[in-house]
Amino acid sequence: MNASPSQPHPAEWTETQSLLPTVERDLPAGRHQFHKEQLMAQIREDLRTTPVVPARRNPFLRRTVLLPALACALAGAVVGGLALTGGGDGNTALATGPALTTRVGAADARGAERLLDHISLAAADTSEPAVRDDQFLYIASKVANTYPKTVDDKTTVVSEKLHSRQVWQSPDGRNGWLIEPGNTSEDGVTLAGPNPLRSAYHRLAQLPTEPRALLRKIYQESDANRDPEVPRDQAAFVAIGDLLIESYPPADLTAALYEAAAEIPGVVAVDDAVDAVGRHGVAVARLDEQNGQRTEWIFDKKTYAFLGERTVQVEPDGTFKKGTVTFTIAITRRAVVDELKEVPGQDG
């Protein structure tokens, strides 16, 4: 399931212009248990080491991570500066232009099972390198968010400039690193924590690979952790998507995740979708009927390799017009490396 690196050529991106600071909005629900775990680990460490003076919040922890709804969010993978979806004061520097928009692809409910079957077979046939305990999983991506910005009581919808992101994660989830310009320093920030991450390779390798058993496990975790306002099926779909983005599921688990997704009500196939760097593909998607946003997993039309994910407003909600892309990510490289902060193809 390795996506080939592509140079950014976002066919959908519009010209950018300088805009003023943002206000927050509600997050698309159903992701980020990882973010909660990282945040709580940091809070515990802060309380242990500096019980009187609060520690400065890591720059990659956007303010959206602290929203109340996030505390009940579903288990997820390491994504988007620990909050790929939604905006906040933490990414003001990246808010540089008008909203990213796209053509809303046609949805086919009957084609979803057949498409997921093809994708699952392709994933199962993918060779993967063995991962030693002393190695790191490396994932590079291009990402951007869209959110409302209010200045003098006037609200406009703006998008970040598409920017790069690199994550390293140890197989046990106890050690990692993030570099995301605008959200971290040039050298990046640590993702180390006292507890293994839910998206860590070792934990993923322990999940069941029988699709129905896997789906029961996903629903079980969803029911225990999700915000009550998040539709149950949507939470499960988003949880699977999170595991496809910034984690490294074994091939048999990846295939099982796609088969499990085919059992979730409301999943559709989309005839055309474009990832963050302009690559066209087919998509597996599901509409969140509460906010009118459709989460789309994008795959190469020929190889069915996973390219990325985006969230599209398919039903206007008073803030976002139809066709607004509220979140987009393209995976440009996945690899196993020997050292933390080692970039594949370069000296470590």
DSSP secondary structure, 16-45, as one string: P---PPP---PPPSS--HHHHHHHHHHHHH
3-state SS of 298-332 is EECCCCCCEEEEEEEECCCCCCCCCCEEEEEEEEE
Neighbours of 297 (CB within 10 A): 27
Q: Residue 126 has what pLDDT?
A: 87
Of 62-66, 247-251, 279-283, the poorest mean pLDDT is in 62-66
Give the tens place of pLDDT for each residue, 286-303.
999 999 999 999 999 999
Give the tens place of pLDDT for each residue, 230-241.
899 999 999 999
pTM over 0.85: no
Q: Which residue has the higher pLDDT, 195 or 222?
A: 222
**Encoded amino acid at 296, one letter:** E
Residue matched to tokens 């046609």: 106
Long-range contacts of 117-122 (CB under 8 A, 24+ apart): 117/259, 117/262, 118/304, 119/258, 119/284, 119/299, 119/304, 120/255, 120/256, 120/258, 120/259, 121/255, 122/303, 122/304, 122/305
CA distance 224 to 206: 19
Neighbours of 9 (CB within 10 A): 9
Give the tens place of pLDDT for each residue, 251-296.
999 999 999 999 999 999 999 999 999 999 999 999 999 999 999 9
Q: Residue 146 has what pLDDT?
A: 92
Give the tens place of pLDDT for each residue, 107-163.
999 999 999 999 999 999 988 788 999 999 999 999 999 988 888 888 889 999 999
Contacts of 317 (CB under 8 A, 6+ apart): 291, 292
CA distance 280 to 291: 25
Q: Is the pLDDT of residue 36 over 70?
A: no
Q: Which residue has the higher pLDDT, 38 or 224?
A: 224
Strands 280-288, 293-299: pairing kind:
antiparallel
Q: Residue 194 has what pLDDT?
A: 67
Please compute the mean of the pLDDT values over residues 169-178 and round it to a whole number. 94
